[in-house]
Chains A and B, each alone.
Chain A
Amino acid sequence: SQTIHQWPATLVQPVGSPLSLECTVEGTSNPNLYWYRQAAGRGLQLLFYSVGIGQISSEVPQNLSASRPQDRQFILSSKKLLLSDSGFYLCAWEGQGKTGEQFFGPGTRLTVL
């Protein structure tokens, strides 16, 4: 069966520090991968998606970036965090049928102070 991992689970970082969040998927190959952000009490904002290794599409211009160095690994990064980067970050992968059904990781709670 397929599983998706995210780490760390929680993170507290000062403004201006770098960021690296990692997402890995097991039990499937060539998945579509997604990064979402959820601000407190808000809906999901799609940040990046990837249909293959090295292929990244950005949905929202900001100081975040994403990379996909391996088929089942998706990394969210920043060189300098802003206060507005605080939120709950979710990674998701799309099922083989490409119906839009997505499977979500447990999330990373990021607080920027």
Chain B
Amino acid sequence: AQSVTQLDSQVPVFEEAPVELRCNYSSSVSVYLFWYVQYPNQGLQLLLKYLSGSTLVKGINGFEAEFNKSQTSFHLRKPSVHISDTAVYFCAVSPSGGYQKVTFGTGTKLQVIP
């Protein structure tokens, strides 16, 4: 079984400042990793994913994440946030190789302050 920990339930940040949203996971097997974003009253939208290859993954809206196997982390970063980035961000993990259920973190609410 795997687990995902998003320690920060809320992260306030000023507009145009950088941000990092933390995600740590636990798994006994290799994993695929995802970040999703949820705007108010909407479904989740995939930001980026790590399946294999380069550990630095670039996604939509200027976000990127780095897979660190030794630290079992997959932190999400953006160098300069906008008001429109205000949303809830979910980290998710899935064991690689065949069908397995995805485990989602509890989410981090990013609040961008004008």
In the complex, residue of chain A having the shortest beta-carbon distance to the beta carbon of B4: A43
The 10 closest A-B pairs by CB, nearest first: A100-B94, A104-B43, A43-B106, A104-B44, A100-B102, A44-B104, A107-B43, A99-B32, A106-B43, A100-B32
Q: Are B41 and A42 in contact (CB under 8 A)?
A: no
Q: Which listed residue, B90, B100, B107, touches A100 by the CB 8 Å rule?
A: B100
Residues of B in contact with A (beta carbons under 8 Å apart)? 32, 34, 36, 41-46, 49, 51, 90, 92-96, 98-102, 104-107
**What string of 1s and 0s marks CB contacts (under 8 Å) between A83-111 and chain B?**
00000101010100011111111110100
Q: Are B99 and A98 in contact (CB under 8 A)?
A: yes
When A43-B106, A43-B107, A44-B104 are in contact, do A90 and B43 touch as well, CB less than 8 Å? Answer: yes
On chain B, the residues within 8 Å of A88 by CB distance are 41
Q: How far is the CB of B69 from chain A (nearest CB, A)?
A: 17
Residues of A in contact with B (beta carbons under 8 Å apart)? 32, 42-44, 46, 49, 51, 88, 90, 92, 94, 98-107, 109
Give the number of residue pairs across the A-B interface with Cβ within 8 Å: 56
Q: How far is the CB of A4 from chain B (nearest CB, A)?
A: 8
In the complex, residue of chain B having the shortest beta-carbon distance to the beta carbon of A99: B32
- Identify the interface centre among A88, A102, A109: most chain B CB within 10 Å of its CB: A102
Can you list 21 A-B pairs with a CB-CB distance of less than 8 A? A32-B99, A42-B107, A43-B106, A44-B104, A51-B99, A88-B41, A92-B44, A98-B98, A99-B32, A100-B32, A100-B34, A100-B92, A100-B93, A101-B32, A101-B49, A102-B46, A104-B43, A104-B44, A104-B45, A105-B43, A107-B42
Interface SS of chain A: helix, strand, loop or mixed? Answer: strand
Within the assembled complex, what's the spacing in Å between the Cα atoms of A44 and B107?
Answer: 9
Q: Are A46 and B101 in contact (CB under 8 A)?
A: yes
